[in-house]
């Protein structure tokens, strides 16, 4: 029975490795061309994340590699990976603020989330109790998004958890190479994504079902009532927009 389970697990891993991923970029037109942030919601799975305006979204069909690393691999480490009973997560923060650590399963469902106020520096967490499977781990802070893929080989699962271990406030690791990053998000073909772009007082929402690499264009239109309140515009079909 154990051998059969192992073979099925390996076949599933090989299928995932061959899955097609999509890269999504964002741009603004109309009243504003720069984007300050983008909130992406997977309406099918319930997963969501927020990107900086210059970031790209990598829709990851969870082709998990053992040595997979985030776009800037000098700011995050996950070891050992694959993990058995536990793994140590180490990452850097450039300023103090709240940080959200999330672990997603293959369907995009959050297995565990931990929110913690961290100071500037390098921080270490223990990840444990995760069932044998493939996962996407994301770390979201005030001015950054990190992601890494985790393969668990744990045969004695316990309650999943992320435990704070230690920090080094005198170390912040290597500085970011650029102001933009590529952010992973779990995705299955056919999922519906809702993307909300924000640029100052302007905001626009675009819904779509990605089938390949593409650029999502936010039509920033002045939509203000008599009291000066600003409203988001929503794309309906391919060319019409409505006030939200």
- What pLDDT, in 10s, does the model give residues 97-121? 999 999 998 888 888 899 999 998 8
Phi, psi of 17 (to 5 degrees): -65, -25
Phi, psi of 174 (to 5 degrees): -80, 140
Note the pLDDT tens digit of each residue in 11-58. 444 444 445 678 899 999 998 889 988 999 889 888 777 878 888 888
Whole-angstrom Cα distance, residue 165 to residue 105?
Answer: 24
State whether 107 and 126 are in the same domain.
yes
Q: Is residue 13 part of a domain?
A: no
The label of the residue with tokens 């779990």 reads 186
State whether 77 and 176 are in the same domain.
yes
State whether 176 and 78 are in the same domain.
yes
Phi, psi of 15 (to 5 degrees): -65, -40
Q: How many residues does the chain have?
A: 244
State whether 100 and 177 are in the same domain.
yes
Asked which of 38-42, 85-89, 176-180 is least confident by mean pLDDT, the reply is: 176-180
Our measurement of the distance from residue 172's CA atom to the centroid of its chain's CA atoms, rounded to an integer in Å, reads 22
The domain of 130 spans: 62-184
Q: Is the preceding peptide bond at 82 cis, omega within 30 degrees of 0?
A: yes
pLDDT the model gives residue 16: 45
Whole-angstrom Cα distance, residue 180 to residue 165?
Answer: 29
Q: Is residue 3 part of a domain?
A: no
State whether 140 and 102 are in the same domain.
yes
pLDDT the model gives residue 78: 84
């Amino acid at each position: 029975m154990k051998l059969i389970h192992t073979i099925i697990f390996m076949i599933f891993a090989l299928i995932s490795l061959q899955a097609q991923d999509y890269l999504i970029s964002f741009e603004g037109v109309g009243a504003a061309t720069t984007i300050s942030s983008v909130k992406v919601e997977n309406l099918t799975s319930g997963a969501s994340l927020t990107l900086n305006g210059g970031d790209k979204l990598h829709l990851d069909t969870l082709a998990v590699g053992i040595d997979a690393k985030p776009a800037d691999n000098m700011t995050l480490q996950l070891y050992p990976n694959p993990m058995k009973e536990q793994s140590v997560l180490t990452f850097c923060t450039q300023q103090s603020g709240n940080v959200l650590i999330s672990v997603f399963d293959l369907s995009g469902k959050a297995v565990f989330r931990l929110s913690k106020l961290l100071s500037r520096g390098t921080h270490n967490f223990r990840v444990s109790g995760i069932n044998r499977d493939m996962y996407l781990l994301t770390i979201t802070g005030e001015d950054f998004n990190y992601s890494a893929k985790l393969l668990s080989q744990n045969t004695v699962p316990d309650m999943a958890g992320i435990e704070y271990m230690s920090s080094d406030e005198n170390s912040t690791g290597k500085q970011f190479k650029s102001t933009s990053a590529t952010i992973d998000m779990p995705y299955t073909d056919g999922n519906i994504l809702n993307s909300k772009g924000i640029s100052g007082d302007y905001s626009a929402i675009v819904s779509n079902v990605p089938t390949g690499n593409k650029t999502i264009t936010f039509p920033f239109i002045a939509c203000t009532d008599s009291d000066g309140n600003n409203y988001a515009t929503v794309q309906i079909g391919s060319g019409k927009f409505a006030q939200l």
